Amino acid sequence: MTVETALCLLAAGKGTRMRSDLPKVLHQVAGLPMFAHALNSGKGCNPSRIVIVTGHQSARVAEAAQAVAPGAVCVEQSPQLGTGHAVQMAAPPLADFEGDVFILYGDTPLILPETLERMAGKRRAGAAVVVLGFNAADPAGYGRLITDDNGGLDRIVEAKEASPEELQVTLCNSGVMCVDSRTLFRLLDNVTNDNAKGEYYLTDVVGLARAEGLACAVVECGEDETMGVDSRVNLAEAEAAFQNRTRLAAMERGVTMIAPETVFFSHDTQIEADVIIEPNVVFGPGVHVAGGATLRAFSHLEGCTVHSGAVIGPYARLRPGADIGENAKIGNFVEVKAATFGKGAKANHLTYVGDATIGAGANIGAGTITCNYDGFNKHKTQIGAGAFIGSNSALVAPAQIGDGAIIAAGSVITRPVEADALAVARGIQANKPGLAAKLREKLKAMKEYRNKT
């Protein structure tokens, strides 16, 4: 029997230690707000409902949530009286829901979908409450997961209330849970705030469930997966952990990275096998690179597609809308935006190509600019297959260059150029014999006069 799932994401905290006007859960890891990472992991469980519990700057968080999960229901926790109280805020929108509820955290962005699937498996095996735990190198203030002789979860003890013996336990509570919905909200109704903080602890549902004879279980994962972010230092640590994980996964898929520690991925970067990535390449959101492409050092890619065999860089920038065809070459200090390069087309150096279509085999010379913006609107440049654009040319859009046409170096093109035509659009050169020597003498005399006065 298929069991429905729902996500309850807790995103109410202010994040005082972030020292920021931005709500904590909206700070980004790999170009995506932290809460969205948690949601994306939860989406692997195919939830039929998503409830996001907001608090600090509730409207701002809710707006961001709708952009990531349009069907999500946002509820506000005010006042904020602990994690148990936060989950209770989700009770009304889940009143008629029957299935498993995953409780996730907006400041814990590194949980893997596979981990949540293992938790769902424990639920299907009969545990009423499943808790995600990890063995901490330094348990410090973490809540401890106390297991029974059979490995089942007996109770969760907060560090401030743990005995010396319990503090020796290294199996710690991540806060992430999977609980049958009816059981969850029934037990939460019996949670009290009789504790050191005067809050309603979500963790108390384990003890209440055990008191009823219900089975509780633990699923373990690596400590880095449960990393919570409370400060800018933590944010940098989460970014580093995400990048290390992503680099390793890319190399295991067949991507070559010469200096992987210098390559930075976005949350959604797609790199196929047999891509070579040289040092110091940075990916913004929305990049897909096909197998066999080479990304040379110090290049930046965002919102673009790179096809098989293409070579990008070094020091190239691909902006949103760039589509680089098979075996095309985008060289050093070339910027491409909203432009398509056909198979084998080249712009090897010092060029800006924006809002353009470049035909197969065309060559764009150094210093070429597509003048695409008139201060109000963008205009398109079309360059035909096999065309040759000479160095230091300016193509004033809208511009049409036919197949096989040649643009002479230094030209400013303002009219269409038909196929196979040679276009020359520059001033006529005039040589003045001896004038350079006379000019030097005059300038020298002027300088000496200024120095004397």
Weakest mean pLDDT among 17-21, 194-198, 236-240, 359-363:
194-198
The whole-number pLDDT of residue 1 equals 57
Virtual CA dihedral for 216, 84, 198, 79, nearest 10 degrees?
A: 170
The whole-number pLDDT of residue 149 equals 87
Report, at the CATH architecture level, how domain 5-226 is classified.
Alpha-Beta Complex (3.90)
The residue type at 264:
F
- Helices marked H in 302-365 — which ranges? none
Residue-range domain boundaries for the chain:
5-226, 255-320, 328-445
> Average pLDDT, stretch 243-260?
98
The whole-number pLDDT of residue 453 equals 78
- Identify the band that residue 286 occupies on the pLDDT scale cut at 50, 70 and 90: very high
- Identify the band that residue 197 occupies on the pLDDT scale cut at 50, 70 and 90: confident
Question: Which CATH superfamily does the domain covering 328-445 fall into?
Answer: Hexapeptide repeat proteins (2.160.10.10)
> What are the two backbone dihedrals, phi and then psi, of residue 422, each rounded to the nearest 5 degrees?
-105, 120
- Identify the band that residue 33 occupies on the pLDDT scale cut at 50, 70 and 90: very high
The residue type at 31:
G
For 39, the token pair is 């949601």
> Average pLDDT, stretch 77-81?
90
Contact 283, 304 (CB under 8 A): no
For 314, the token pair is 């070094």
For 409, the token pair is 């170096």
Is residue 300 among the annotated active site residues?
Answer: no
Does 196 score more than 80 pLDDT?
no
Q: What is the pLDDT of residues 154-173, one digit of tens each?
A: 999 988 888 999 999 999 99
CA dihedral over 209, 213, 215, 216, signed as positive or negative? positive
Q: Which of 112, 104, 27 is nearest to 64 (CA)?
A: 27
Q: Which of 396, 346, 389 is nearest to 367 (CA)?
A: 389
- Distant-in-sequence contacts of 142-146, Cβ < 8 A, 24+ apart: 142/172, 142/173, 143/172, 143/173, 143/203, 144/169, 144/171, 144/172, 144/173, 145/169, 145/171, 145/172, 145/173, 145/218
Does 425 score more than 80 pLDDT?
yes
- Counting every residue, how long is the chain? 453
The whole-number pLDDT of residue 103 equals 98
Does 367 score more than 90 pLDDT?
yes
> Average pLDDT, stretch 359-374?
97
- Identify the band that residue 387 occupies on the pLDDT scale cut at 50, 70 and 90: very high
What is the percentage of the chain residues whose pLDDT exceeds 70?
Answer: 100
The whole-number pLDDT of residue 89 equals 95
Highest mean pLDDT among 9-23, 192-206, 234-248: 234-248
Does 124 score more than 70 pLDDT?
yes
Does 267 score more than 90 pLDDT?
yes
Q: Which of 145, 119, 110 is nearest to 228 (CA)?
A: 110
- In angstroms, the CA 261 to CA 48 distance is 38
The whole-number pLDDT of residue 351 equals 98
Does 35 score more than 60 pLDDT?
yes
What does the mean pLDDT of the chain come to? 95
Does 2 score more than 80 pLDDT?
no
* Catalytic position from the list 288, 300, 349, 379: 349
HSE-CB of 284 using CA atoms within 13 angstroms: 13
